[in-house]
């Protein structure tokens, strides 16, 4: 789909604010339209299901992490995704996401399961110690950044 970003924009509309829009959601497949606020960073997390990320406008930088002893993680690589780029992520991948540009970035995220099911982890951005993923914290981050950038 992201090979034709104009078609995606025609179908979904130009991104107007940061957020996560459910396009399809079942126990076996979740498809989301994720719009990142300018300069937004989402802390390290895992999905525990495979995923494919495809950018249709803007840029999404991913830092990939690996587990260390003691429950911490360390950076293990990175990949910048721009318009028309797609990247598969295995079920065991830990990554953080940054939109490094001063405009909204839109990406289609496809997950091989129920994205909203429990069982995911996130890592504290300062200590890099694992904890249960908190959807509320992520939702508030999107809301706060929308207010800060005047999108809400």
At 10-69, the pLDDT tens digits run 999 999 999 999 999 999 999 999 999 999 999 999 999 999 999 999 999 999 999 998
Neighbours of 82 (CB within 10 A): 13
CA-based diameter of the chain, in Å? Answer: 47
Length in residues, the chain: 152
Confidence of residue 70 (pLDDT cuts 50, 70, 90): confident
Token duo for residue 89: 């992520």
Confidence of residue 71 (pLDDT cuts 50, 70, 90): confident
Contact of 53 with 25, CB cutoff 8 Å:
no
Confidence of residue 145 (pLDDT cuts 50, 70, 90): very high
Distance CA 59, CA 11 (A): 20
Token duo for residue 150: 């005047």
Q: Which of 6, 10, 18, 22 is nearest to 108 (CA)?
A: 22
Distance CA 11, CA 120 (A): 30
Single pTM value for the model: 0.94
């Amino acid at each position: 789909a992201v090979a034709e970003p104009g078609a995606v924009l025609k179908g979904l509309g130009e991104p107007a604010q940061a957020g996560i829009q459910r396009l399809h959601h079942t126990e076996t497949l979740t498809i989301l339209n994720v719009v990142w606020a300018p300069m937004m960073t989402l802390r390290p997390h895992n999905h525990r299901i495979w995923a494919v990320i495809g950018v249709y406008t803007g840029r999404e930088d991913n830092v990939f992490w690996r587990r260390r002893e003691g429950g911490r993680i360390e950076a293990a690589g990175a990949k910048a995704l721009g318009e028309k780029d797609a990247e598969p992520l295995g079920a065991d991948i830990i990554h953080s996401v940054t939109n490094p540009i001063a405009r909204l970035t839109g990406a289609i995220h496809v997950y091989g399961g129920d994205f909203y099911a429990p069982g995911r982890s996130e890592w504290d951005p300062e200590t890099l110690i694992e904890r249960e993923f908190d959807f509320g914290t992520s939702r508030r981050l999107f809301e706060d950044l929308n207010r800060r950038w005047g999108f809400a």
